[in-house]
Amino acid sequence: NWGLAIIVITLLLRTLILPVGVYSFRSMKKMQKIQPKLQAIKEKYKNDAQKANQETLLLLRSEKANPLSGCIPALMQLPIFVAFFSMMNSSFELYMQPFYFWIHDLSSKDPFYVFPILAGAAMFFQMRLTPTTTTDPAQAKIMSMMPLLFTVFMLSTPSGLALYMFIGSLFSIFQQLIFMKEKTT
């Protein structure tokens, strides 16, 4: 079953990039922890941007926090996502290949939009679990809209791609739940 193959490949790929995810999660927790200090620097040097940048860099170095580390797993997954997308649209092996229940063709869109909606819901839940590293309300609002925008995008994609995104999001949720439990014990 090609759908099961997509699930297995998704889990293998996510397991391979797991060390990067661990690093990213820990760095985001550090960034969340130092947000009050960053805000204090911003307030203290609001008229001197150069000094504020210097102090911010010193704080990031001393706390060993990397503000860009949250992007690394997404950047690593982007080529995989593009490859899956192009494969789903051009692979004749997937044409008319059923998964289970209502999915009769993994290369066409989900007829009842179940996987796109599940993927969007999983992304929303995953976003709620992710440590917040911003104090800017506009940026937070934009980030909260991302699962909805991605769900709308996924409505017209092949159901195999929506399956990949749903399983990947579930993997990330379980990963974050384990990280959060590890920190509290």
Q: What pLDDT digit, counting tens, does each position of 93-128 carry?
A: 777 777 888 888 887 888 899 999 999 999 999 888
Does the pLDDT of residue 78 top 60, yes or no?
Answer: yes
Q: What pLDDT digit, counting tens, does each position of 8-34 carry?
A: 988 998 888 888 878 777 777 788 788
Q: Tell me what the mean pLDDT of segment 65-84 comes to.
A: 77
- The residues, any chain, with a CB within 8 Å of residue 56's CB and separated by 6 or more, are 38, 41, 42
Band of residue 182 on the pLDDT scale cut at 50, 70, 90: low
